[in-house]
Structure 1
Amino acid sequence: MPSALITGATAGIGAAFARRLAADGFSLVLVARDEERLTSAAESLRLRYGVEVEVLAADLTSDEGLGRVEARLRQGIDLLVNNAGFGHPGAALDVSVADELRMLKLHCEAVLRLTMAVLPGMRKRDRGAVINVASVAAFFNRGTYSASKAWVVNYSESTAAELAGTRVRVMALCPGFVRTEFHERASMDTSGIPGFLWLSADDVVREAMRDLAVGRRVSVPDLRYKVIVGAGKLVPRSLAALVSQRLGRR
């Protein structure tokens, strides 16, 4: 039975990955901070899909939490989904340095450390995959969130290139606006986002798994966002940043 470890597994895209992979017959390791929610999610998945589900409560913005997840990954995992993340409300310059550093710890350091923890075993077995959840924001300019997700895309592509010729894959997943708890937790006003731009987490995961299967290094789910990313590369970066800021937040 193949195995998968998913961070940020109790809601949104992480929970959608858990459902999809359980349906595909993966045994799961679910990682999040809230042990009660983890336990509830695990029980639901066991009952519905009949798969083994392990829970690992860990705060990935702490060295202790990262260390425990690294240790679990070194025991052997076939698919790692680095999904945990968060956003800040308001303008970038209004966010404290401490909060910005916490974001970088989760979006960059955690992705790096967990990927490096799992890859040696995958390379030895010559099979396995890592999906690093980034964002369409990676292709636009909007503060530390955008910059951190751009790092995830660059790092994923670079690592995938180094693994060329093996059966180990690394892919950055770059969804647009997805109906999850993400914006609510960040106290973001989403009233200015047009309804047609919203995606479902299950649709995002379905397209991600398809792109992983065909060997894509960057997955941008949904034709609408493929067009947006393509158009963003053609217009001046200052204009793209202005549109992004006005669309994403009031």
Structure 2
Amino acid sequence: MGKLKGKVAVITGGSSGIGLATAARFVAEGAHVFITGRRQAELDKAVAVIGSNVTAVQGDIARLEDLDRLYETVKREKGGLDIIVASAGYVEVLPTESVTPEHFDTTFDINARGTFFTVQKALPLLRDGGSIVLVSSGMHIKGFPAYGVYAATKAAIRSFTRTWAAEFKDRGIRVNTLSPGLIETPIIDGQFSSKEEADGARAMFKQITPLGRIGRADEMAAAALFLASDESSYSTGIDLVADGGITQL
């Protein structure tokens, strides 16, 4: 414990799933964490779960005014920050012929545009030597039917990582990607129209994953901690793929 002692972190999408697990782990390691999410009730529950050293700021990363309010809060309460984990995301499973302009725009607004401005607007507060972790997905590595738009946004995030690792290196800021596989979080049920469809996806991914199971949010939190902490001090621009081997074997 104590790998992030005295650090200040912002975690978008911190009210559930990977973001919540990461926030809890960071606090356990000594950080003060600012979490964001669109629904206040879920944020309140997350704060109760984490228990201390956490500040919740309701907002949508697709809304630039919400990001401004987030960083105004960070500046007022802590003066600066050391770590960004861009975990907020949106996924809806649609085959190409069913994609609407609205679906396309919503997915890109949250996953690509929202991630970009999450980082851009943090830069004046991000201390030299800081760490940025962008949560992508194994979907950007291997093609899966009906995930075309989502996968494209996650490929954009991987590209941001390479660009920013080069762009911010003179400030000692490391930028890395975390690409999970299918993780047991509420987003699984949320992307399908019925529980039966969601359970079918779980069964399919278990079958094709070399480790034979769905990943856990706490496993992704451990990976995010590695990338955010000095444990990965010689790593920048990498894509840490944590997917049970599905895209690698």
TM-score bracket, normalised by the shorter chain, equals: 0.7 to 0.9
Distance 1:23 1:161 in 2: 31
AA partner of residue 50 (structure 2): L
1:230 positional shift: 4.0
Q: Tell me the TM-score normalized by structure 1.
A: 0.81
How far apart, in 2, do the equivalents of 1:121 and 1:54 lie? Answer: 17
What is aligned with 2:67?
66
- SS of equivalent to 1:9: coil
Among 242, 246, 249, the residue aligned to 1:221 = 242
Say if 1:118 and 1:64 are closer, same or farther in 2 by CA, change over 3 A. closer
| Aligned amino acid, residue 225 of structure 2 | M
For 1:192, what is the secondary structure of its paired residue?
Answer: helix
Q: Does 1:79 align with 2:83?
A: yes
Maintained 8 Å contact 2:16/2:46: no
The letter of the residue matching 1:55 is A
Q: Secondary structure of the residue that 1:174 maps to in structure 2?
A: strand
The alpha carbon displacement at 1:68 in A equals: 2.3
State how far apart, in whole Å, the 2-side matches of 1:218 and 1:73 are.
28
What's 1:6 paired with?
11
SS at match of 1:84: coil
- Equivalences, count: 222
Distance 1:72-1:170 versus aligned 2 partners, 3 A rule: farther
- Between the aligned partners of 1:182 and 1:10, the Cα distance in structure 2 is 12
Q: 1:204 aligns with which of 220, 245, 249?
A: 220
The answer for unaligned runs of 5 or more in structure 1 is 232-250
Partner of 1:135: 137
1:90 counterpart (89, 94, 98): 94
Segment drifting more, 95-104 vs 148-157: 95-104
- Unaligned ranges ≥5, structure 2: 1-5
- SS of aligned partner of 2:123: helix
- Shift, 1:197, TM fit: 4.2
Shift of 1:99: 2.0
Identity, % of aligned pairs?
Answer: 24
**Aligned counterparts of 2:97 and 2:61: Cα–Cα separation in 1:** 24
Structure 1 runs (4+) deviating above 6 angstroms are none
Describe the SS at the equivalent of 1:25: coil
Q: How far did 1:211 drift?
A: 4.0
Alignment pair present for 1:169 and 2:174: yes
Q: Residue 21 of structure 1 aligns with which residue?
A: 26
Q: What do the CA deviations read for 1:84-126 (whole angstroms, capped 9, x no partner)?
A: 112112313313211210110111111111111122333xx42
Q: CA RMSD in A?
A: 2.0
